[in-house]
Structure 1
């Protein structure tokens, strides 16, 4: 749950995008790793918004000309199958998940994260996002026995298996997202997408294709200068 200063910062950031004609289509979590929490002096991940204008299709080549410090993240994402009640238990939330899939977030890390309020005023540096197709498999076994892999040309990360140790527990993350979403008066709605956290801090783009996979299904983000 956000304090008044942080809530107002995020509210203004979201309203600014909506006034430009953009439609909110989900939420994102950021700074949820132990290092991220410590850097901002917080104990729960920050919550930002996803907009239709930021959606990217897999294999799309995006232009970096207007981006100051382009970075990418390999994400765990959720497709939402029904509205989540404001006071939902974790079991109720699980029943509202259509699937858990791989995601990619594209950010412009143009300024140091000097405070939580500043980061929220920038909507956690969000510039674009893409997620794998909704499988409709539901919650299943959560992220148990799941593996996320990421490559960017010559750069290759070891497969990520203990996902909740990297991004925080899914119970805590969904709970925080639901709390903040309802503080803002919108909530988590059917057909929303949620980026639940990254496997690593925002990583500089090297111009090679960024490929993220989960459960043998992959998505790709490409770049042009």
Structure 2
């Protein structure tokens, strides 16, 4: 674990992509590395592999999670600078802003009731693993490819999401209801706190980030992000 932890820390600090190490961690060990490297100043969580198809592709039966740090959460309007990342990709998401605690053991309905509002979000993925070639433990250890996230302030009704890059369609889809995922996450991390932001995963594949104007559309609203 020490080798993987040090590799991730160095690669993130120097913004250098590296090959995944030959040492293979268990999922439990990978989450321990994630906590040690990314667990400080957490303001929320990010979910990945929320669709059954993606889970089966990676040999999982549940989503994965990552930490959302204070410095990684940007509020719209925002400009995202590419030079802070290694190999950034973007995808459209919804974020749940919690208005109440979600203790472990909460059922899906009560977990959904704890959401104060849903907002549009742009997830900026980043990975230390060259060309995004990794095992499931590798990606978990590297904070589920967490880079940054831009979140809107206005509430939206969950529904279809669209991603546009310079007004060109770049992806579209719709997420499953959030309640089961929030209930699962609360059980995994010892509960969620009021005020935390949870990125709920993306219904579409990520695309490479490049300079330009990016728009996430959903619920009758747009989130506009400048990438420079």
TM-score above 0.5: yes
Separation of aligned partners in 2, 1:214 and 1:196: 14
Structure 1 stretches of at least 4 aligned residues deviating more than 3 Å after TM superposition: 157-160
Q: TM-score, normalised by structure 1?
A: 0.80
Unaligned runs of 5+ in 2: 1-24
Partner of 2:153: 133
- Greater relative contact order (CA < 8 Å, ≥ 6 in sequence): 1
Unaligned runs of 5+ in 1: none
Partner of 2:211: 207
Q: CA RMSD in A?
A: 2.3
Distance 1:17 1:206, change over 3 A: closer
Of 31, 47, 62, 2:65 maps to 47
Of 85, 88, 101, 1:83 maps to 101
- Structural mapping, 1:61-210, within 5 Å: 61-111=79-129, 112-133=132-153, 135=155, 143=158, 146-157=159-170, 160=173, 162-164=174-176, 169-182=177-190, 187-210=191-214
Q: TM-score, normalised by structure 2?
A: 0.79
Partner of 2:13: none
Of 22, 29, 32, 1:8 maps to 29
Distance 1:209 1:90, change over 3 A: same
Per-residue CA deviation, residues 139-187 of structure 1 (Å, 9 max, x unaligned), is xxx73xx232221115314653x432xxxx43432232122112xxxx2
